[in-house]
A = this chain, B = another copy of it.
């Protein structure tokens, strides 16, 4: 068995290397251009929903920056001397720095909460009290997870993981309850989408603890490393880029319902049919 030094492993096969390499690049492309799409689409939603789009774009850009760092870091940490890169990749003198992810989450998770609450357009006092509960819980969750991530033994990983799970469950509980409460306040046309947003939050955020636990159940050495990188990266793509597009969809639908000037497609049909 390959001995893990903290989160890094000493060797990766070329197939394992390629999978991680291509996934990191996919993360950069999907996060970066979702961010850009959200910025240039601002004019398509009512002013009151633009903050949700802007914060959502910011989340995507912060994550893009970190995936650039992670991608370059990975290329420096693992190298092969085999022609065409078709051999075993070994760990160089450059640490593979998992802290990038934690710094990213530390910045983006509170912002994801802000964008979710912004798109619901709740009363200002409700928004404030919600963020007052959720943001400290998210900071605590990430701070408690990091020491466990660096651990080489299962016991330490499990202890910190369990501690981190307490604010995580509190956060999901508050969000789920508040999103459910807000359903009545949403226009009937978007209730289905907001309801799915609830499920999406719980489902997608649930991938992170699973990826965290890969080294604990079954996977070991380089397999645990690959599984964790794949899990975290896919979770980031869905929880930030895909989630941002759902936020955009809700903002678009609410804009259409609340101001006929924002209805794009239906109008056209009428215009042509009238000819």
Chain A residues proximal to chain B, CB less than 8 Å: 5-6, 8, 10, 14, 18, 21-22, 25-26, 28-30, 32-33, 36-37, 39-44, 47-48, 50-51, 54-55, 57-58, 61-62, 65-66, 69, 77, 79-86, 91-97, 99-100, 103-104, 106-107, 121-124, 127, 185-187, 258, 262, 264-269, 271-272, 275
Contact = CB atoms under 8 A, between A and B. Distances in A.
Contacts of A123: 265-266, 269
A37 B58 contact: yes
B86 A29 contact: no
Contacts of A91: 83-84
Please list the 10 inter-chain residue pairs (A to B) with the smallest Cβ-Cβ separation, ordered nearest first: A85-B95, A121-B268, A48-B264, A22-B99, A26-B103, A84-B91, A33-B62, A37-B58, A5-B84, A124-B265
Identical chains bound together, number: 2
Contact of A93 (B10, B77, B81): B81
A144 to B, nearest CB: 17
Nearest to A125: B265
A82 to B, nearest CB: 6
Nearest to A254: B268
Contacts of A81: 93
Contacts of A39: 40
Contacts of A96: 84
A40 B65 CA distance: 18
A95 B18 contact: yes
Contacts of A127: 265
Contacts of A100: 22, 25
A272 B83 contact: no
A108 B206 CA distance: 28
A50 B33 CA distance: 17
A57 B275 CA distance: 32
A103 B29 contact: yes
A33 to B, nearest CB: 5
21 contacts: A10-B84, A22-B99, A22-B103, A26-B106, A29-B62, A29-B104, A33-B58, A33-B62, A36-B58, A37-B55, A42-B43, A43-B47, A43-B50, A44-B50, A82-B93, A85-B93, A122-B265, A123-B266, A127-B265, A185-B272, A258-B268
